[in-house]
Structure 1
């Protein structure tokens, strides 16, 4: 299974200013596999140590930052000789040992020629606890579930991925039906590596759902493990409410929809936890399409998406027939799945920060706003081939300096003021131009 982040890892390895690497990402997105695969391909040997439930290793870091002693410990634990310039050292589940995270500062300062990477779940939360995070002494990369283009590669559709990458409208058009079917398949399978592998190996969506339910159970177990009962209850309630929020026509997150009587002050920290843990994506509202967009963000008004469209399906209880056969249940929820899909591709494949816009005193709303360079792109998402864009047209007239785009199942179409881009082609921003 190829991951596009491999190219970034190669760039990190070859950088003359390389620092120890922290690979961020939610649990089960493939961090450990990717680092091991990268090490096997590009280094003479890999010294891998796992800090989870390993008090002996933790004690070595707690004893101080004598690097020769620590490297001797890594050699003994991994069974691999550590040679700077030849060995790739992986410190996995580093959130279980905060002082191991701090040690990256000393690796950076004292043995910069040694390639060291750390991975672990809930890293962004751990950074704020215990010993200090080595600010300025590490490089960082983010790993997400497989995006749609990676999914095409993984399911033996690399030629179709190459067609998407080509940006050739004349090539994309004849394969529209095939892309549509693969897109619906991706809505169910999603991009969690284990889910994709299960589908490739079994061709059985029931097996995929069992994997997804296991991942969801693991997330909920993590929430209960890392937090007290009271805090866990708030977080679990917010997490489980995602399908209800996204299933509404107005997808703004409303605390009262979690349960009767829910108050924002009780759940704001829960939302922060979910986003820091990487299992949810917060999309804030902006008051106007100014540059930079973040300066106009209203953090009190937002949409909340899951990290993966397949997990959203599982969380929603949508079965395979609902999506593949397109029954009434899918028809009712397809708008939510399509917005989830678009949000996921903007973040994971396009490396963009999504926002949304809504009018203060009307029902007008733009599904997403993103900033690319000096351009602001208002984006309308259509689950089918509906080409009516009343809200987008009104927004474009109000803010003529923006670059309107509509993502739908229709083919490429320029309407002068706006360009339609097929949903399956949005992962390559060249296709937006």
Structure 2
């Protein structure tokens, strides 16, 4: 009997070690060839650890390939005496089955320590559940594990899968959620070894002083480079190691293919894939909303609310809703059937917009870097503004209203709530000439507005009540 048990234990060990070996290969890709970039979310993890004291688990959500696993493993390695990382993508069936029965937590902890060859220390160790959406019972177990209190717990998951795998489990109230976005512009500059530029830009923003012609040109060129590369860690690593934008484009195409595969898994009808692919074309069309019927035939926006919700939950897409009554309570009067879609990463957006062309046929890279982007590609700047605002914690809204003289619509690109009022934001891809939409909006809703902002590709200036800010200053709004 004892020999049979021992044989079974060794068999499980071999399976788990095989899984660990495979996981190392997978980690090599996910960690972008071993490079750990400095990420702002690390400080949020540290704050959770210092304030939670084991009373909650932390769930890091976000799109695939955004760097969740890398930063969590680095955090666990740096901030705890020991940690176990259970990657449910490669974990054996026996490891997953541990969470089917929570009657004996001592047994679970013993098995995890044996499997991963790590000794856990009470209140000094952390257990990481990576890709937790692949083992819903482990996520449900968080309630009991946190109550036990011996160790800290961090989960990572891709939202595109989590929503499909929670219908039969009890979501633990002990979870604190953090959303992880692609690298923002400051993190991108850090990766390139520049710790100075963004802080300098922030000081100029706060003092409302222009950069000056030479400095402005250099900073705008740097920002345009960020727009081309984007904030996906693998794309950033590719740029750093090769200095070749064609190689970067290849990486981004691979990530887009990964997303397309995920879309097909959760929606075999192909609607989600079609909605995602059409984002650049929809923005280029300059319509006041996403025209669902032009993408899905007879379908209307009200017919695909579930698909839009799944796209948003995946973290790959940002949704800006029309605010019917602009004001601090925009969440209560947003129109779910009137929206615009943006990609969560500007680099992926550029590749998506021209994915039907070979890199050698795509002049968007050279034109954006040289500042010769044609006017009808200005929507690229809208996407980077949407990404920046969302990363900084803003919900995205916009507003349209009728111009009584022309019978066309005025449109304010973004509205954000601020101090019981709103800030109105217009985005221009070229120099500032006129801004009738934000002028008309300000006249109509003057009592509700705290700031009027024009984001554009020129240096700072003040035009009466309008702050004309360089596009690189978006992150400070």
TM-score by length of 2: 0.84
The answer to whether the 8 A contact 2:69-2:156 is kept is yes
| Alpha-carbon distance, 1:148 to partner | 1.2
Partner Cα separation in structure 2 for residue 283 and residue 66 of structure 1: 47
Q: 1:390 aligns with which of 436, 451, 461?
A: 436
The answer to whether residue 129 in structure 2 is matched with residue 87 in structure 1 is no
The answer to whether residue 248 in structure 2 is matched with residue 208 in structure 1 is yes
The answer to whether the 8 A contact 2:388-2:474 is kept is yes
Deviation string 1:122-162 (CA, Å, 9 cap, x unpaired) is 25514642211112x11111100011121111122221122
Number of aligned positions between the proteins? 423
Q: What is aligned with 1:189?
A: 229
Q: What is aligned with 2:176?
A: 139
| Alpha-carbon distance, 1:415 to partner | 2.2
| Alpha-carbon distance, 1:86 to partner | 1.6
| Alpha-carbon distance, 1:23 to partner | 0.5
Partner Cα separation in structure 1 for residue 337 and residue 331 of structure 2: 13
Q: What is aligned with 2:215?
A: 175
Q: What is aligned with 1:8?
A: 44
> Is the deviation greater in 387-396 or in 320-329?
320-329
| Alpha-carbon distance, 1:9 to partner | 0.9
Q: What is aligned with 1:359?
A: 401
Partner Cα separation in structure 1 for residue 304 and residue 312 of structure 2: 13
Quickly say closer, same or farther: Cα 1:28–1:5, change in 2 above 3 A. same
Q: Aligned ranges for residues 292-371 of structure 1 at < 5 Å?
A: 292-317=329-354, 319=359, 321-326=363-368, 330-348=373-391, 350-359=392-401, 362-371=408-417
Partner Cα separation in structure 2 for residue 67 and residue 329 of structure 1: 63
Q: 1:377 aligns with which of 423, 432, 436?
A: 423
Partner Cα separation in structure 2 for residue 67 and residue 358 of structure 1: 56
Partner Cα separation in structure 2 for residue 354 and residue 399 of structure 1: 18
The answer to whether the 8 A contact 2:398-2:415 is kept is yes
Partner Cα separation in structure 2 for residue 172 and residue 72 of structure 1: 60
> Is the deviation greater in 86-95 or in 150-159?
150-159
Q: What is aligned with 1:418?
A: 466
Gaps of 5+ in 1: none
The answer to whether residue 441 in structure 2 is matched with residue 399 in structure 1 is no
Q: 2:95 aligns with which of 57, 63, 68?
A: 57
| Alpha-carbon distance, 1:272 to partner | 1.5
Q: What is aligned with 1:151?
A: 188
Q: Secondary structure at the match of 1:179?
A: helix
> Is the deviation greater in 255-264 or in 74-83?
255-264
Gaps of 5+ in 2: 1-36
The answer to whether the 8 A contact 1:382-1:406 is kept is yes
The answer to whether the 8 A contact 1:284-1:355 is kept is yes
Q: Aligned ranges for residues 99-138 of structure 1 at < 5 Å?
A: 99-111=137-149, 113-122=150-159, 124-126=162-164, 128-135=166-173, 137-138=174-175
Q: Secondary structure at the match of 1:15?
A: helix
Larger Rg computed on CA atoms: 2
The answer to whether the 8 A contact 2:301-2:337 is kept is no
Partner Cα separation in structure 2 for residue 89 and residue 165 of structure 1: 38
Q: 2:259 aligns with which of 195, 198, 219?
A: 219
Q: 2:107 aligns with which of 45, 69, 73?
A: 69
Q: What is aligned with 2:26?
A: none
Runs of 4+ in 1 over 6 A off after TM superposition: none
Quickly say closer, same or farther: Cα 1:201–1:291, change in 2 above 3 A. same
Quickly say closer, same or farther: Cα 1:128–1:265, change in 2 above 3 A. farther
Q: Aligned ranges for residues 248-327 of structure 1 at < 5 Å?
A: 248-250=285-287, 252-264=289-301, 266-317=303-354, 319=359, 321-326=363-368
Partner Cα separation in structure 1 for residue 229 and residue 288 of structure 2: 23
The answer to whether the 8 A contact 2:301-2:338 is kept is no
The answer to whether the 8 A contact 1:94-1:101 is kept is yes
The answer to whether the 8 A contact 2:136-2:166 is kept is no
Partner Cα separation in structure 1 for residue 210 and residue 423 of structure 2: 25
Partner Cα separation in structure 1 for residue 236 and residue 412 of structure 2: 32
Q: Secondary structure at the match of 1:144?
A: coil
| Alpha-carbon distance, 1:267 to partner | 3.0
Quickly say closer, same or farther: Cα 1:416–1:265, change in 2 above 3 A. closer
| Alpha-carbon distance, 1:102 to partner | 0.6
Quickly say closer, same or farther: Cα 1:128–1:426, change in 2 above 3 A. same
The answer to whether the 8 A contact 1:49-1:77 is kept is no
| Alpha-carbon distance, 1:66 to partner | 3.1
Partner Cα separation in structure 2 for residue 275 and residue 180 of structure 1: 30
Q: CA RMSD in A?
A: 2.1
Partner Cα separation in structure 1 for residue 336 and residue 352 of structure 2: 25
Deviation string 1:61-99 (CA, Å, 9 cap, x unpaired) is 123353222222322333211112221211001001111
| Alpha-carbon distance, 1:273 to partner | 1.2
